[in-house]
Amino acid sequence: MSWFKRNKEGITTSTEQKKEVPDGMWFKCPSCKATLLTKDLAENRYVCSDCSYHCRIGSEEYFEILFDHNEFTELDANMTSGDPLQFQDTKSYSSRLKDAINKTGLKDALRTAHGKINGQDLVVCCMDFEFIGGSMGSVVGEKIARGIDYSRKHRYPLMIISKSGGARMMESAFSLMQMAKTSAKLALMHDEKIPYISLMTDPTTGGVTASYAMLGDLNIAEPGAMIGFAGPRVIKETIKRDLPKGFQTAETVLETGFLDFIVDRRELKEKISTLIRLFAN
């Protein structure tokens, strides 16, 4: 007999109130259930000190982790999405965009910045899952394209941090063509021999995986990140059997040969900075 009983079954928190990054005093690790001080968690790069679970974080946190003294110049900071198709499902795309902008304080699902990492130049394009599931539409594609052009112009190495549910359906074929656009620019960069590091974080799926995320000179990932092309539910429904343990995790993707290594977020900056040095010298 328990002391407390739930009045209502299941989770009743509405989606809007769910938080990606903990901002209360305490934080409960979703993996090992340890209770941590939010302040400590932030200092530990949002990695659980007990079980090394990597919490989902956004561009703000990654920029802070990577750039020296959190100093960087953001590129194309004000670019927002058009609504070329006037798309309407249960809600109009334009109002979805407005809501996402208000809720997250972001303009779209990716931010680009140039800064120094241990004194070396680096351009970082970082996705934000909070913004419509980190979906790739025209803004994500265009910002990556311009980020690549900026890297090419100055011959700075590029890092793209992926975190995405895939293409943005509300932009239909426009979003599909962003796979082409980003890969076209990477083809140019490839020929000009400027290093590109692709970091895949939880989750990296769909059209994002099938374009820039898998096209790094180095493809790396955070521990436990879900990485795949088709979603696990779709695969399960198609083949009508259970998926193997660890399927589509960074660890499996490393074993099947599609990653160079897995990096703990607490070592991310040092590792990237070492690589840039190795490429440069």
Partner 1 sequence: MFAVQTTPCMIFLDFEKPIAELYEELKNLQEIQSKGKIDVSASIREMEEKIEEERKKLYSNLTGWQKVQVSRHSERPYSLFYVQQMCSDFVELHGDRNIKDDKAIVGGFASLEGRTVMFIGHQKGINTKMRQYRNFGMANPEGYRKALRLMKMAEKFNKPIVTLIDTPGAFPGIEGEERGQAEAIAKNIREMFRLKVPVICVIIGEGASGGAIGIGIGDKVFMLENTWYTVISPESCSSILWRSWDFKEKAAEQLQLTAEHMHRNGLIDGIIPEPVGGAHNDPHAMAGILKDVLIRELDALSAQTPQERINARIEKFCNMGVVVE
| SS3 call for 14 | coil
Judged by CB under 8 A, does residue 260 bind partner 1?
no
Cα→Cα distances 144→111, 125, 201, 221, 229, Å: 9, 7, 17, 19, 20
Number of residues in contact with partner 1 under rule CB under 8 A:
66
Closest CA to 145 of 76, 59, 221: 76
Q: Output the smallest distance, CB 230 to partner 1, in A.
A: 3
Q: Output the smallest distance, CB 272 to partner 1, in A.
A: 21
Question: Please, are residues 58 and 100 in contact by the beta-carbon 8 Å criterion?
Answer: no
Single out the segment in contact with partner 1 by CB under 8 A; choices: 44-52, 66-74, 118-126, 188-196. 188-196
Q: What is the 3-state secondary structure (H, E, C) of 225-245?
A: CEECCCCHHHHHHHHCCCCCC
Q: Which is nearer to partner 1, 134 or 228 (CB)?
A: 228
Among 176, 218, 251, 271, binds partner 1 (CB under 8 A): 176
Q: Which is nearer to partner 1, 138 or 273 (CB)?
A: 138
Q: Output the smallest distance, CB 72 to partner 1, in A.
A: 20
Query: Please, which of residues 63-122 interact with partner 1 by CB under 8 A?
Result: 76, 78-85, 87-90
Judged by CB under 8 A, does residue 239 bind partner 1?
yes
Judged by CB under 8 A, does residue 14 bind partner 1?
no
Judged by CB under 8 A, does residue 248 bind partner 1?
yes
Buried (b) or exposed (e) across 90-120, using 16+ Cβ within 10 A? eeebeebbeebeeebebbbbbbbbbbebeeb
Single out the segment in contact with partner 1 by CB under 8 A; choices: 3-11, 34-42, 49-57, 241-249. 241-249
Residue 168's contacts (CB-CB under 8 Å, 6 or more residues apart) are 109, 132, 135, 136, 137, 140, 175
Judged by CB under 8 A, does residue 252 bind partner 1?
yes
Among 16, 191, 278, 281, binds partner 1 (CB under 8 A): 191
Cα→Cα distances 46→67, 163, 182, 272, Å: 16, 16, 29, 18
Q: Which is nearer to partner 1, 204 or 273 (CB)?
A: 204
Query: Please, which of residues 209-228 interact with partner 1 by CB under 8 A?
Result: 209-215, 228
Question: Please, are residues 249 and 224 in contact by the beta-carbon 8 Å criterion?
Answer: yes
Q: Which is nearer to partner 1, 30 or 246 (CB)?
A: 246
Measured between alpha carbons, how far is 148 from 157 in angstroms, rounded to an integer? 9
CB atoms within 10 A of CB 159: 26
Among 16, 244, 245, 278, binds partner 1 (CB under 8 A): 244
Cα→Cα distances 65→5, 22, 70, 86, 219, Å: 42, 17, 7, 38, 19
Which chain residues interact with partner 1 by CB under 8 A? Answer: 76, 78-85, 87-90, 137-139, 141-142, 145, 167, 169-181, 183-188, 190-191, 206-207, 209-215, 228-231, 234-235, 238-239, 243-244, 247-248, 252, 256-258
